[in-house]
Structure 1
Amino acid sequence: MVGVILNLSIWFALHTLFRKTVPVHAFPLNFDRPVLTSVDIPALVLAIAAATAIFALSWAC
């Protein structure tokens, strides 16, 4: 169950922070590789601010 939640969180973060992804099919692996030039700057700034608030400022419940 933890693996499913981790996979969903990584997929959601990847598709939120990058506007484009490229599917990669290496023999045992299938995953989406982000196109680094398609980064969504406002989403990245918001994610950094949220991570700072949670971890550095200890706002976690």
Structure 2
Amino acid sequence: MLKYAIIFAVISLVAGVLGFGGIAAGAAGIAKLLFGLFLVLAVVFVVLAALGIGAVKKAID
């Protein structure tokens, strides 16, 4: 997902340089959405991993 966010950001930059404002704005919006979704999922998975490690330790003891 981060890969697609970076791709859309690059598309937005190239379109902006070439003067395609509408396409650049659309691609930037998609890149922001994907990056935000990536951050939320990354935090959720880190929290789940932290909780899972504690659960495994409790189960072993």
- TM-score interval, normalised by the smaller of the two chains: 0.3 to 0.5
> Higher relative contact order at CA 8 Å, sep ≥6: structure 1 or structure 2?
2
Report the structure, 1 or 2, having the larger helix content. Answer: 2
What TM-score do you get using the length of structure 2 for normalisation? 0.38
